[in-house]
Amino acid sequence: MNRKALVRPQLPRTTPLRRPTLTCLQKKAGKGIAFTLTLSVTGWSNLAQTLEDARFLDAEYAYIVTPTADSLTAWGDAGIRVGDVTENGKMPFTCTDTPASAITVNIYRAEVAQ
């Protein structure tokens, strides 16, 4: 039997794992608020609708938008997408098919430091 065939190759030594430094995780997250609004059936025009609410602010905030449980199927069937808040007080939505019913959405606004 060939002894060299049984010898395992030496693996290079590695340095200990270091905690990754991610700039996005170093940013301070601030306070958040949650609220619910409705996309009306009559509010759609050319497959777009803009919700207006004073809580939409375009600077230093991130938004998470999800349909409520009872609107989930209609949201998916209509192919609704959320746009960026680029103007205070307005959040744009688009769809691939106009929904046949009103869509209720939960919105979470989180303050993020730049």
What is the per-residue pLDDT for 107? 97
Contact between residue 52 and residue 80 where contact means Cβ atoms under 8 Å apart = no
> What pTM does this model have?
0.73
With a cut of 50, list the residues of the chain below it in pLDDT: 19-26
* Per-residue buried b or exposed e for 17-40, using 16+ beta carbons within 10 Å of the residue's own CB: eeeeeeeeeeeeeeeeeeeebebe
What is the per-residue pLDDT for 26? 44
